[in-house]
Chain A
């Protein structure tokens, strides 16, 4: 129950002034005796007034998912954005479709979502539940990247577009014991990481990105094929999808990859496709890795002692600090003394970002990097001034705790639970209420505040996934805040720029 409303006495809500609630309280008394009598009456009336309880003492915060960006592929999971006549209640007049959702929109879900990922026009959500249904997908499904979703009219046919979060069938051996830890989405394939049954892959396999042999002329549309990979040395703890390749990180700190390798993004020392997950070497040999990042064709890895490694595409100066080559097919150590200890890396289409131990964000690469329009490219990391994330004399302890990259935009969450985005605002993927590009970190409207958690649960309750493989540009956020469904207070201007009129097509 989101709001425990237990009025100890029947009475109207706060939003309406109640004249009858406190009887006998007038303002007409002018004499001293009258004034003191009025005060006494007021005090008595106040003591008698009923006390409302809106929330119990141990109120827990509910988790929420918010979506924004381009909606016509169905990736936002709101059917009425795409097809105006859907919905249980027929409307008197058809509401027009909503091509772009410019600010965060709350998705109504019953389940507690723990992981989310945005692909090219599709989205996956997963929960750590032991229930049979653990993963939901919505959006583009022409390559069965969301699995098979049978059509209502004909059970043998599958939907090419899934307009609302629908259960993704997984061939689990023990569906009531296995938990799904993480999901990841690429251009046309997806990965699902479980805690005891390995990694499942779905979708396009033209380059072996699903970790199985490429079958010539395979038809991916309406396919039931879900492939399981369990041949890793140790448990897989993180999966990451690039555009057409896949990366896997094991508990031993080793990295595996498969898929398209023309830019060297598989990091296996060649430029061929790989259809079986294979371990990486290069500068990563013997180095325990703790985090992987990829989204386009460039890859970054963070080692246990705070080092940074990169491979893949370097046409946009991502790896120019160590090589002039534009394709790097083996992991190279990136040494930047100014970074300090690296704790997180994020890799977009043309830009890279890392977070260091002090909670500072560094960016490099090409595009809108976040330091104004003058910084268009850099081969070395540049620190984004912490004041842009809210650090001020009033708030001296603000720092960033999580960063993510989309194809051409960035996002960061601070320890105060605020979400900042910057970069190209393709089809509203930034969620800031308008469609202009943003050249430095900007707060996303506070109607969906995200809190990293004030206890040991840490950042689990708040996740940030940046999408936009070009088209979809949707971003998801999880939000453990049970805000009343009301306009945010104190914001004198909800949207400073007029919203674009909803256009058909």
Chain B
């Protein structure tokens, strides 16, 4: 199955997860090695800090948040994205003095192809209604604890505190919510159709991503991966 992502134990909204069947299991490894980004919607709550950064965690501190405005939050998010942009390039081990590095920077396709800490490639605020705020985060090599910690640190930078109340994955690599099968669609025919519909995209994307790292590896026929919208997944 897919590589362990850490323990995702959110029982509120569901989230996207990708499953592989048969040969698709090997493709999942390829997907993991392609170091694609994932999208999350993260809901935060201002005014509290908890030791595990969760809303129901042990309370550490409460603070005021009436000074926080949407503009300040947007600025913080822009800075976060900026500092992670630099980290993206640094962890990708590119020689920045080459024309190739410049061209990759222009298209925004620089990203690390090996282990790195969580890197945020995009972050923006979708909704702001103090004390609640909703963020859309595009990241890679994330763990859900890091995502919660991000909310905590956003709170610190806003000179208040924040905890995370919900994390929901909305995209995994090239699979989006549109591709997802609902619980009611978990039957053989729907699954088969979904696999076949996704197959060409899977092949193309994996080929593109892996060529960044390896250059010459041939990919086997890729027609066996599907996704579901469901609960926890190891």
Binding site for B on A (CB under 8 A): 3, 11, 14, 17-18, 21-22, 25, 42, 45-46, 49-59, 371-374, 385, 387-388, 390, 392-395, 416-418, 436-440, 442-443, 445-446, 449, 451, 454, 483-484, 488-493, 496
Contacts and interface: CB of A to CB of B under 8 A. Distances in A.
Nearest to A414: B78
B176 interface: no
Interface string B91-131: 10000111101110111100000001111101110000000
Given A417-B75, A417-B78, A496-B90, A392 B122 contact: yes
A271 to B, nearest CB: 39
A80 to B, nearest CB: 28
Contacts of A14: 49, 60-61, 63, 156, 161
A360 to B, nearest CB: 14
B1 interface: no
B99 A372 contact: yes
A449 B79 contact: yes
Q: Name the 3 nearest CB pairs between A and B, nearest first.
A: A372-B102, A394-B122, A491-B83
19 contacts: A14-B61, A14-B161, A18-B61, A49-B61, A49-B62, A51-B47, A372-B102, A373-B97, A387-B106, A390-B82, A436-B97, A443-B82, A445-B86, A449-B79, A483-B157, A484-B156, A492-B87, A493-B87, A493-B90
Contacts of A385: 106
B87 A18 contact: no
B23 interface: no
Given A417-B75, A484-B159, A490-B83, A56 B117 contact: no
Contacts of A395: 78, 81, 122, 124
B170 interface: no
Chain B, interface residues (CB within 8 Å), range: 35 or more
Given A394-B122, A394-B138, A446 B62 contact: no
Contacts of A489: 80, 83, 153-154, 156-157
A388 B110 CA distance: 12
A270 B103 CA distance: 44
Contacts of B80: 489-490
Interface stretch (B64-72, B183-191, B195-203, B217-225): B64-72
Given A21-B60, A394-B124, A440-B102, A454 B71 contact: yes
Contacts of B90: 493, 496
B173 to A, nearest CB: 17
B63 A387 contact: no
Nearest to B71: A454
A446 B82 contact: yes
A18 B99 CA distance: 52
Contact of A54 (B48, B78, B87, B160): B160
Given A14-B156, A392-B122, A49 B51 contact: no
